[in-house]
C-alpha cells in the first residue's frame, strides 16, 4: 500500500457515506448491512421523501392506479442516519470530506448514487418532466379530458406518458426529432414497426423543437403547437457539477470500472450516475435502467468492504417499458450495424426482434413475451440458434 491509500473498510468502525436516496442507494445500504458492515452509515439525499421506486411513476402513478411506490427501506431497522432534503455540494477526496448544504461530513468510504436529471429544452414556457414522485403527482393532475398535451420525445418516457394521457382523454401530440419512434434505443426498423401502437396520438417524427414558450411548442420549421401541458422526455443527464475540483474522473457520468471503483480509492459510483466499464460493448456506458441500479449494489458493497478483491458487475443489460398496453422487454446491447431479424404475428404485429453479429445474438426484444425473457438473457452472447 502506498501513502494516502486506505486499507479495506474497517467493518466495525468505518463510516460509509452514501450520496443519493434512490434505488441504488437503498439497495447498497441493505447489502452492506447483510454483508455485516456494522459501522455507521449516513445517507445524504436531496429528496424530502424516503427512497421509492421510479418505474411506477410513469405507469401506475400517472394512470392513477396507485399514489406512491415505496421501496423496502427501514432506516431505523438498518441503523442508518438518513439526511433527507440535504444536497451534496462538493467533495474533498484528500481529506475525505463531503460538503453538503447542511454542513460537512467526513467519511472512510463514499458511494455516489445521485442518479440523473431530465434534460430541458430552451424557452420560457412550462415544461413538465418526470423523475420524482412529486413530478408524477403534479402531471397526473393536469392530464384531464380535452387537455392539449404535447409530449416531446417518442421514447420510453414519451411513450408511457402518451399512454396515460390518451387514457385520461387528453388530445395528445408527440414530437420526435428522429425518423421513427423509439429509434434511438431500438433503431429505425423496430421503431417503424411500433407506429400502429401510437394510434390516437398525433405523431410528428423528423420534427425538431426550437423552444417551449408560454403559447406552446415552437418547432424549428416555424410552426407553433398550442399546448395546455408540455412534457419533455428527451433524456436525462447525471449532474456532475458538484464534483468539480474533486479529482474524480468523469465523462458523461462518473467513470468506474466493473467493480464500481472510481479513480479515487475508497469512492465508488453506481446506478444512473455511473459510466461503467462493460465488456459487452468494450466501452464505458451509462446504463440508465432499473435492473442495473438494483443489481449493482452487491458488487459495489463488496468493493467498499475490500477495495482490491471482489466480484465484477457486468451483467447482460435488461430493461422494460409498458407502452400502449404492451410490455416491451429488451435484453443485451446491439450496435447500429448488427443484423436484425423481425418476427411478426399472423397480423403483421411485431412480436420479437433479434440482433446478431457474426451469428452471435447481441440483443433480443420481446413484445408481451415475458415468459421468454429468462431464456433470452441466457442466450445473449451465444449462437442465435440457442433461442430456437
Shorter beta-carbon distance to ligand FAD: residue 176 or 272: 272
Residues in the chain: 388
Under the binding rule (CB under 6 A), the answer on residue 18 touching ligand FAD is no
Contacts with ligand FAD, 202-241, as mask; x by CB under 6 A: -------------------------------------x--
Burial class of 228 by CB neighbour count within 10 A (0 to 12, 13 to 18, 19+): middle
Cα 354 to Cα 107: distance, rounded to the nearest angstrom: 46
Strand, coil or helix: what is 229?
Answer: strand
The span of 10-18, 51-59, 335-343, 379-387 binding ligand FAD (CB under 6 A) equals 51-59
Counts for the chain of helices (H) and strands (E), in that order: 10, 25
Nearest to 141 by CA among 110, 164, 174: 164
Q: What are phi and psi of 134, to 5 degrees?
A: -60, -40
Under the binding rule (CB under 6 A), the answer on residue 338 touching ligand FAD is no
Candidates 47, 108, 176, 338: give the one binding ligand FAD (CB under 6 A): 47
Under the binding rule (CB under 6 A), the answer on residue 142 touching ligand FAD is no
Shorter beta-carbon distance to ligand FAD: residue 74 or 101: 101
Candidates 63, 114, 232, 275: give the one binding ligand FAD (CB under 6 A): 114
Shorter beta-carbon distance to ligand FAD: residue 61 or 384: 61
Shorter beta-carbon distance to ligand FAD: residue 136 or 225: 136
Strands (E), 126-240: 148-152, 171-175, 202-204, 209-213, 216-219, 224-225, 229-232, 236-237
Strand, coil or helix: what is 232?
Answer: strand
Nearest to 80 by CA among 24, 41, 27: 41
Under the binding rule (CB under 6 A), the answer on residue 165 touching ligand FAD is no
Q: How far apart are the first and last CA of the chain?
A: 52
Candidates 60, 142, 144, 290: give the one binding ligand FAD (CB under 6 A): 290
Cα 83 to Cα 107: distance, rounded to the nearest angstrom: 15
Candidates 9, 18, 29, 44: give the one binding ligand FAD (CB under 6 A): 44
Under the binding rule (CB under 6 A), the answer on residue 143 touching ligand FAD is no
Under the binding rule (CB under 6 A), the answer on residue 61 touching ligand FAD is no
Contact, 303 vs 296, CB < 8 A?
Answer: no
Nearest distance in Å: CB 328, ligand FAD: 9
Strand pairing report for 148-152 and 254-256: unpaired
Cα 294 to Cα 26: distance, rounded to the nearest angstrom: 9
- DSSP states along 324-336: TTEEEEEEE---T
Residues 254-283 that bind ligand FAD (CB under 6 A): 271-272
Nearest distance in Å: CB 262, ligand FAD: 15
Under the binding rule (CB under 6 A), the answer on residue 334 touching ligand FAD is no
Cα 184 to Cα 153: distance, rounded to the nearest angstrom: 10
Candidates 18, 23, 170, 175: give the one binding ligand FAD (CB under 6 A): 23
Candidates 16, 18, 19, 269: give the one binding ligand FAD (CB under 6 A): 19
Candidates 9, 17, 18, 25: give the one binding ligand FAD (CB under 6 A): 25
User: Which residues contact ligand FAD by CB under 6 A?
Assistant: 19-25, 44-47, 54-55, 57-58, 87-88, 113-115, 130-131, 239, 242, 271-272, 288-291, 293, 319-321
Amino acid at each position: 500500500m502506498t501513502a494516502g491509500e486506505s486499507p479495506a473498510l474497517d467493518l466495525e468502525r468505518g463510516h460509509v457515506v452514501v450520496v443519493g436516496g434512490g434505488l441504488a442507494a437503498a439497495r447498497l445500504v441493505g447489502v452492506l448491512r447483510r454483508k455485516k458492515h456494522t459501522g455507521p452509515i449516513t445517507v445524504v439525499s436531496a429528496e424530502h421523501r424516503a427512497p421509492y421506486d421510479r418505474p411506477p411513476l410513469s405507469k401506475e402513478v400517472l394512470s392513477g392506479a396507485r399514489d406512491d411506490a415505496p421501496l423496502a427501506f427501514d432506516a431505523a431497522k438498518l441503523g442508518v442516519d438518513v439526511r433527507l432534503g440535504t444536497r451534496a455540494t462538493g467533495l474533498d477526496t484528500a481529506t475525505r470530506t463531503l460538503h453538503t448544504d447542511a454542513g460537512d461530513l467526513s467519511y472512510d468510504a463514499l458511494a455516489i448514487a445521485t442518479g440523473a436529471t431530465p434534460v430541458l429544452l430552451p424557452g420560457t414556457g412550462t415544461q413538465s418532466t418526470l423523475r420524482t414522485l412529486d413530478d408524477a403527482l403534479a402531471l397526473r393532475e393536469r392530464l384531464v379530458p380535452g387537455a392539449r398535451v404535447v409530449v416531446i420525445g417518442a421514447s420510453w418516457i414519451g411513450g408511457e406518458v402518451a399512454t396515460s394521457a390518451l387514457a385520461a382523454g387528453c388530445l395528445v401530440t408527440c414530437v420526435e426529432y428522429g425518423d421513427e419512434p423509439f429509434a434511438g434505443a431500438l433503431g429505425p426498423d423496430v421503431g417503424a414497426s411500433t407506429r400502429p401502437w401510437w394510434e390516437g396520438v398525433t405523431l410528428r417524427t423528423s420534427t425538431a423543437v426550437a423552444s417551449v414558450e408560454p403559447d406552446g411548442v415552437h418547432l424549428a420549421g416555424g410552426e407553433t403547437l398550442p399546448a395546455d401541458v408540455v412534457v419533455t422526455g428527451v433524456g436525462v443527464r447525471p449532474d456532475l457539477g458538484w464534483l468539480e475540483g474533486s479529482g474524480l474522473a468523469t465523462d458523461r457520468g462518473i467513470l468506474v470500472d466493473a467493480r464500481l471503483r472510481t479513480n479515487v480509492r475508497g469512492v465508488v459510483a453506481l446506478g444512473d450516475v455511473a459510466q461503467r466499464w462493460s465488456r459487452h460493448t468494450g466501452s464505458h456506458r451509462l446504463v440508465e435502467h432499473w435492473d442495473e441500479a438494483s443489481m449493482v449494489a452487491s458488487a459495489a458493497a463488496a468493493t467498499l468492504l475490500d477495495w482490491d478483491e471482489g466480484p465484477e458487475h457486468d451483467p447482460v443489460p435488461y430493461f422494460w417499458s409498458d407502452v400502449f398496453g404492451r410490455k416491451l422487454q429488451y435484453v443485451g446491447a446491439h450496435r447500429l450495424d448488427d443484423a436484425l431479424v423481425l418476427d411478426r404475428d399472423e397480423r403483421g404485429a411485431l412480436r420479437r426482434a433479434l440482433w446478431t453479429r457474426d451469428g452471435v445474438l447481441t440483443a433480443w426484444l420481446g413484445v408481451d413475451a415475458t415468459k421468454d425473457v429468462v431464456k433470452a438473457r441466457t442466450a445473449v452472447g451465444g449462437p442465435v440458434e440457442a433461442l430456437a
